[in-house]
Amino acid sequence: MDLYQVFKTRSPIIGVVHLLPLPTSPRWGGNLKAVINRAEQEAVALASGGVDGIIVENFFDAPFAKNQVDPAVVTAMTVVVQRIQNLVTLPIGLNVLRNDSKSAMAIASCVRAEFIRVNVLTGVMATDQGLIEGEAHELLRYRRELGCDVKIIADVLVKHARPLSSPNLTVAVKDTIERGLADAIILSGWATGSPPNQEDLELACGAANGTPVFIGSGANWENIATLMQAANGVIVSSSLKRHGRIEQPIDPIRVSQFVEAARSRGNSPGEIQSVSGPMKIHS
């Protein structure tokens, strides 16, 4: 995956838009307009703060379906992404939780989004949704059937989960890339808001052998300079929220602080300097 081609920087900062509960989820509020308005506000806040990409996910739909989500969720996420695309010009990605990679690929193909996140692409993980099996064979064939080039960014030993076999990080990274054909990988801590171990990041980058490695959780303005010395990019959300609280909306001031901290970290291997200009918002 050529990060520069997609994000116009070799070390992208991807901000996350956590959608309010969607139709059929336990906490669905019955008002899609409220979901859209919140998503639009957060996307603009992320873009104005200087991130290089945005990923949209149905975060507040918990407890999640293990694999296939309801068609109403797919429909709602498609509408939301299109509305965001009308406001910002940043690359957009999707994560359909917990692991509905085919729906994510379908939405991305239809709205011309650039990438998707897949929590379990290969292997078997024990999660609070039960056992989730990677379905790389189906996803890669489906992408080919759709005739699109949506990039697949896959978690390795994803957070909120445990592998059934012995957790050998090097093997998991190599399997995800070489056997699962991931375009990039993600390394997270054990849970939302928990950063990955620095040594694990370095090990993953070595095993990835040139395939981009993203930090998937726990990044904040205090640790990002250190973490990014052992990674190619970062996906960030919790620390960008008001007061750092996950249920709060994105705070544009915290976004700016995070981006400034990330880009002032010095000349580490990724060179996070962006050449895509300041704010990417449609006028």
C-alpha closest to that of 77 among 43, 107, 44: 107
Length of the chain: 283
Confidence (pLDDT) at 160: 79
Confidence (pLDDT) at 35: 98
Report the C-alpha gap between 95 and 55 in whole angstroms.
Answer: 7
Report the C-alpha gap between 218 and 240 in whole angstroms.
Answer: 11
Q: Which residue has the tokens 């990330």?
A: 262
Confidence (pLDDT) at 162: 80
Confidence (pLDDT) at 265: 60
Contact 132, 67 (CB under 8 A): yes
**What sign results for the dihedral spanned by CA atoms 47, 212, 188, 215?**
negative
Contact 55, 91 (CB under 8 A): no
Q: From edge to edge, which strands make up the β-sheet containing 130-133?
A: 130-133, 124-127, 161-163
pLDDT in tens, the chain (283 residues): 999 999 999 999 999 999 999 999 999 999 999 999 999 999 999 999 999 999 999 999 999 999 999 999 999 999 999 999 999 999 999 999 999 999 999 999 999 999 999 999 999 988 888 899 999 999 999 999 999 999 999 999 877 778 787 678 999 999 999 999 999 999 988 767 778 889 999 999 999 999 999 999 999 999 999 999 999 999 999 999 999 899 999 999 999 999 999 998 644 444 444 433 445 566 4
Instruction: Determine phi and psi for 187, rounding to 5 degrees.
Output: -120, 125
Report the C-alpha gap between 98 and 127 in whole angstroms.
Answer: 10
